[in-house]
């Protein structure tokens, strides 16, 4: 299912590049997934960003924020690991795994030393294919999201952003983007 929703995968293997042209390779996986690859082997660091087509604009009417809630709860454990165990597994690798939802995409970002790349890939896969979605975690994250939405209702920047979106896009899904985005990193 995730594979079908997968519009593009962006593999970024880069370091602090000196001022020079960046060689971007366009590659296609055996399964037909298109990606961009940037390599620099001067430091042992790997960063991978995956973008799934969709995002908050696909939330059903009356269900705004559903994808935002999902991305926030993907960090709450996976497989047989609860939130604490999952966070500890990432911490032990010195790795970062984060989820974000924009209007048009679900973005999964990973960063780790190259020596820990495979273990981080396994944790990212686990979080996407076997998330726990335990009721306690769902309730806690939902309460956090609702609290942030309430806070945004009196935040001048949030109010202005919503009004600008209405002026620019009317009643399209883009104008109705979620008030709160998930952009938490597990470290």
Find out whether 107 and 5 touch, Cβ atoms under 8 Å. Answer: no
Spatial neighbors of 7 by CB under 8 A, at least 6 apart, are: 51, 52, 53, 54, 105
pLDDT category of residue 46 using cuts at 50, 70 and 90: very high
Find which of 4-13, 107-116, 157-166 is predicted with most confidence, using mean pLDDT.
Answer: 107-116
The two structure tokens encoding residue 137: 């975690």
Residues 151, 157: Cα–Cα separation, whole Å: 11
Mean pLDDT across 21-33: 88
Highest average pLDDT, of 14-23, 66-75, 169-178, comes from 66-75
Q: Can you tell me the mean pLDDT for 58-85?
A: 88
Alpha carbons 74 and 133: distance in angstroms, whole number: 7
Task: Give residue 54's pLDDT.
Answer: 83
pLDDT value of position 9: 37
Mean pLDDT of the chain: 81
Per the CB < 8 A criterion, the answer to whether 62 and 177 are in contact is no
The tokens for 175 are 């104008």
Residues 6+ apart with CB under 8 A from 120: 46, 90, 93, 95, 97, 110, 112
pLDDT (0 to 100) of residue 20 = 61
Token output for 92: 């032990």
> What structural domains and CATH numbers belong to the chain?
2-175 (3.30.830.10)
Regarding predicted confidence, which is higher, 101 or 179?
Answer: 101
Eight-class DSSP state of 80: T
Q: Are 129 and 112 in contact (CB under 8 A)?
A: no
What pLDDT does 132 receive?
Answer: 92
Q: How confident is the model at residue 177 (pLDDT cuts 50, 70, 90)?
A: low
* Mean pLDDT of all residues in 136-155: 87
Q: Which of 79, 56, 82, 57 is nearest to 145 (CA)?
A: 56
**Average of per-residue pLDDT across 42-62:** 87
The percent of residues above 70 in pLDDT, for the chain, comes to 81
CA separation, residue 9 to residues 28, 57, 71, 93, 124 (Å): 10, 19, 17, 23, 14
């Amino acid at each position: 299912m995730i594979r079908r929703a997968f519009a593009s995968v962006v593999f970024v293997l880069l370091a602090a590049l000196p001022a020079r042209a960046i060689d971007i390779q366009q590659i296609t996986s055996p399964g037909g997934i298109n990606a961009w690859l940037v390599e620099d082997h001067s430091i042992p660091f790997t960063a991978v960003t995956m973008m799934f087509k969709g995002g908050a604009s696909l939330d059903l009417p009356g269900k705004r924020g559903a994808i935002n809630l999902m991305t926030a709860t993907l960090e709450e454990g996976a497989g047989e690991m609860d939130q604490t165990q999952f966070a500890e597994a990432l911490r032990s690798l010195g790795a970062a795994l984060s989820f974000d939802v924009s209007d048009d995409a679900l973005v999964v970002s990973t960063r780790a030393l190259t020596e820990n790349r495979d273990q981080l890939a396994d944790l990212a896969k686990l979080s996407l294919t076997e998330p726990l979605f335990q009721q306690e975690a769902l309730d806690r994250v939902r309460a956090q999201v609702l609290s942030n939405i309430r806070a945004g209702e009196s935040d001048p920047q949030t109010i202005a952003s919503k009004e600008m979106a209405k002026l620019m896009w009317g009643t399209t899904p883009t104008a109705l983007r979620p008030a709160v985005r998930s952009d938490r990193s597990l470290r």
